[in-house]
């Protein structure tokens, strides 16, 4: 009798332990946070940026800009060169008022500290070289009377800058399938802009209009020309959404789009505006760090 009681007691405890193990196993499958190990992930961003166009007018040569085309076009020495080159005198000129950046490549590095299976702190560094170009018109002083000659001369104006975005934020992912999930990132943006060049081109003549200090313009000037730094620090916020496609436990490919609402330090064109980055992120997961 005692042996039967002992056997029933053993079977009871075995059944309880088995049931508990099955429940734990089910909970671990459903809840990846239950035995999660915190770790770093690192990645590479590659894509295309569509910048807000308002700051491109920093390069349009307007008289209100730091880089003004009138330093060249109204200078008697340079005007004589231009007139001799194009064959006509010009009375005035019309500068562009709605310049825009070209789409440009965006590359950068990405770091993510997962403190749970679905949540992480992120940081990233993205670099862009942006170019804006347009045309301006020289209004020619052509002889009166019947003529098929145009009354204006088209010229080129160009600006180029280097821009760096540094982001800090939070990420949350939402699983769709076993190896596919949607993720969203939101955070703070700090950007740095450095103006590389601002030039005008008239036929085969090229002149820089980038501000180089107050001094006379022309060959009679003995003053030193300085390469003054233009640009500076701006700030804003960003939101990113995309898909995480896991190849295996160590590598994922994440196509995504980021929208920035930020200002850049190119006065007086430094109001907040939208910038769009379309990119693919290659992520090395489960780092030992």
Residues linked to residue 168 through DSSP beta bridges, in sequence order? 123, 188
Q: How large is the average pLDDT for residues 150-160?
A: 94
Name the average pLDDT for the chain.
Answer: 85
Lowest mean pLDDT among 118-127, 131-140, 144-153, 204-213: 144-153
pLDDT one-digit tens code per residue, 80-117: 999 999 999 999 999 999 999 999 999 999 999 999 98
Query: Could you give the domains of the chain?
Result: 51-284 (2.40.128)
pLDDT one-digit tens code per residue, 17-37: 334 334 433 334 445 554 566
Is the pLDDT assigned to residue 3 strictly greater than 50?
no
Q: How large is the average pLDDT for residues 133-150?
A: 80
Instruction: Please say whether the beta carbons of 70 and 63 come within 8 A.
Output: yes
pLDDT of residue 180: 94
pLDDT one-digit tens code per residue, 110-133: 999 999 989 999 999 999 999 999
pTM: 0.82
Those residues whose C-beta lies under 8 Å from the C-beta of residue 263, and which sit 6 or more positions away, are 234, 235, 236, 270, 271, 272, 273
pLDDT of residue 228: 84
| Residue 141 pLDDT class (50, 70, 90 cuts) | confident
| Residue 76 pLDDT class (50, 70, 90 cuts) | very high
Those residues whose C-beta lies under 8 Å from the C-beta of residue 27, and which sit 6 or more positions away, are 34
Residue 132 is given by DSSP the state E
Q: How large is the average pLDDT for residues 191-201?
A: 97
Q: How large is the average pLDDT for residues 224-250?
A: 90
Instruction: Choose among 71, 120, 112: nearest CA to 93.
Output: 71
| Residue 289 pLDDT class (50, 70, 90 cuts) | low
Instruction: Please say whether the beta carbons of 167 and 187 come within 8 A.
Output: yes
Neighbours of 54 (CB within 10 A): 19
Instruction: Please say whether the beta carbons of 189 and 235 come within 8 A.
Output: yes
CA distance 25 to 43: 32
Q: Which residue would you say has higher pLDDT here, 39 or 201?
A: 201
CA distance 114 to 116: 5
């Amino acid at each position: 009798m005692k042996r039967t009681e002992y056997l029933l007691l053993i079977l009871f405890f075995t059944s309880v332990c088995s049931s508990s193990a099955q429940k734990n196993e089910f909970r671990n499958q459903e809840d990846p946070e239950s035995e999660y190990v915190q770790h770093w992930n690192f990645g590479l961003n590659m894509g295309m940026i569509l910048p807000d166009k308002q700051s491109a007018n920093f390069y349009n040569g307007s008289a209100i800009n730091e880089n003004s085309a009138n330093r060249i076009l109204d200078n008697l020495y340079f005007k004589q060169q231009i007139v001799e080159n194009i064959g006509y005198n010009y009375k005035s000129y019309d500068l562009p008022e709605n310049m825009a950046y070209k789409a440009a490549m965006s590359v950068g590095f990405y770091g993510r500290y997962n403190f749970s299976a679905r949540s992480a702190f992120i940081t990233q560094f993205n670099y862009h070289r942006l170019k804006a170009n347009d045309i301006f018109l020289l209004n020619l002083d052509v002889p009166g009377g019947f003529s098929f000659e145009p009354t204006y001369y088209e010229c080129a104006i160009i600006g180029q800058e280097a821009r760096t975005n540094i982001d800090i934020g939070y990420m949350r992912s939402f699983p769709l399938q076993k190896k596919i999930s949607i993720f969203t990132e939101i955070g703070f943006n700090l950007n740095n802009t450095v103006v590389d060049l601002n030039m005008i081109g008239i036929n085969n003549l090229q002149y820089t209009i980038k501000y180089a200090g107050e001094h006379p313009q022309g060959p009679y000037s003995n003053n030193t020309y300085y390469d003054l730094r233009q640009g500076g620090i701006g700030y804003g916020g960003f939101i990113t959404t995309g898909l995480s496609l896991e190849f295996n436990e160590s590598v994922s490919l994440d196509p995504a789009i980021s929208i920035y609402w930020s200002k850049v330090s190119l006065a007086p064109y430094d109001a907040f505006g939208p910038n769009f980055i379309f990119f693919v992120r290659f992520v090395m997961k489960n780092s030992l760090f």
